[in-house]
Homo-oligomer: A and B are copies of this chain.
């Protein structure tokens, strides 16, 4: 580790935290069309910040997908080390919607530090983790005026909606973004406190389901018993999407799901969280899903279908005696190798149409389509990252699968041809996507140290040759 950079980071810790608070303050909910301006303001703040700490070039770039502008990408580069390798640092400044607001103990976009923990939407996913890189880079630039390697930062604004513009952005700027390796800090460590390197992420298929049973809501006294009810039709559909044994009830859904290798299952059982740890970190009384698999396997290596939300009729105070005309649900599939997101979306749509009750119209609209991702555990940069994590967090990392989706990985691998290191600093208790999202300031500091160490380790040309010998 670079001692000067590391000492600087320690000395400036209070300022770093206060800047992270400023970053978390932006209500950068990419899914919310009313927050488009907040998204642009957040991107602008980040670009200016990167310029101010010494990047040669730092700017807000347009991202486009078919038919529309996406949320902008913040790009910055420092290329002052011509003989050293080039690292692409990926992160995202967009965050999940903050609701239900009543379950936050402090306002989601008015972040507070309590007991060494920063609470706010995006604190860990992904602003805190992204900012650990930014502050590690600043610590080098402020102390030696240079970085040990060339660095290209790509901070996008559409991760939480499935990164729909990212592959086109990469394709459009293939030459600009050329790099030897990419690092993504957007994942969580092991529940026992050990750091981790993530080697697999599930893909994602998000669908909106709309049921229309009537042309308008009706008085349930006058019409109840004689006409279809949209809420009941939706419930009937959703209830038929899982078999009783926990499997997803869509014909052909499992056709392309790869079986787990027995050796990997053994490794997962050895290093992954136990069923009890998963339930404890979930705050759940009971498990759910496919009984043949451990909870860690169900979370990460097996596909899943979740209803994320349902809405129909009267949700307010008191009673409202209606037959609701319409109902809607938001569904998310997590898929695994070798499932194809478009194929899953097609099958799901067909099955939902097939099981819809008579007399109602059902529309299924795909919103997110992301393939599953696997990274090369033996890439030499993995060994560099493992060493950096071990020194910064005081324990050797383990290889973990993530159940979440990192759309950037497949785009980085397929479009840019860059191998990826997934080095997360959040922990399983950080309430990612939930009310009360948080990031421990200890993780923030150790994350900065790990980044400082990782960059230094990559400087050696040899660091990117051969195969990593690290194994947990």
**Chain A interface (Cβ within 8 Å of chain B)?**
29-34, 96-97, 99-100, 103, 160-162, 188, 202, 204, 206, 213-229, 231-232, 234-240, 242, 278-279, 282-290, 295-296, 298-299, 302-324, 327-330, 332, 334, 358-360, 367-368, 402-405, 428, 431-436
> How long is the Cα–Cα vector from A196 to B162 in the complex, in angstroms?
58
Partner of A220 from the list B218, B236, B304, B328 (CB cut-off 8 Å) is: B304
Chain B residues with Cβ below 8 Å from A215 are 283-284
Contact call A288/B227, Cβ cutoff below 8 A: yes
Partner of A222 from the list B30, B287, B403 (CB cut-off 8 Å) is: B403
Chain B residues with Cβ below 8 Å from A283 are 214-216, 218
Contact call B402/A334, Cβ cutoff below 8 A: no
Partner of A310 from the list B204, B240, B311 (CB cut-off 8 Å) is: B311
Q: A216-B434, A238-B231, A307-B313 are in contact. Are A334 and B221 (CB under 8 A)?
A: yes
Q: Can you list 21 contacts pairing A with B, beta carbon distance less than 8 Å?
A: A96-B321, A161-B319, A206-B321, A216-B436, A224-B305, A224-B332, A224-B334, A224-B403, A225-B303, A225-B306, A225-B403, A226-B296, A226-B304, A231-B309, A231-B329, A234-B310, A236-B239, A286-B358, A286-B359, A306-B321, A307-B312
> How long is the Cα–Cα vector from A373 to B214 in the complex, in angstroms?
29
Contact call A99/B284, Cβ cutoff below 8 A: no
In the complex, the chain B residue whose C-beta lies closest to that of A246 is B225
The minimal Cβ–Cβ distance linking A52 to chain B, given in whole angstroms, is: 32
In the complex, the chain B residue whose C-beta lies closest to that of A278 is B226
Partner of A223 from the list B97, B99, B299, B307 (CB cut-off 8 Å) is: B299
Known: A220-B334, A307-B324. 8 other contacts (CB 8 A): A96-B322, A206-B321, A217-B433, A221-B404, A225-B302, A235-B307, A307-B313, A311-B312
Contact call A313/B314, Cβ cutoff below 8 A: no
Chain B residues with Cβ below 8 Å from A97 are 314, 316, 318, 320
> How long is the Cα–Cα vector from A314 to B315 in the complex, in angstroms?
13
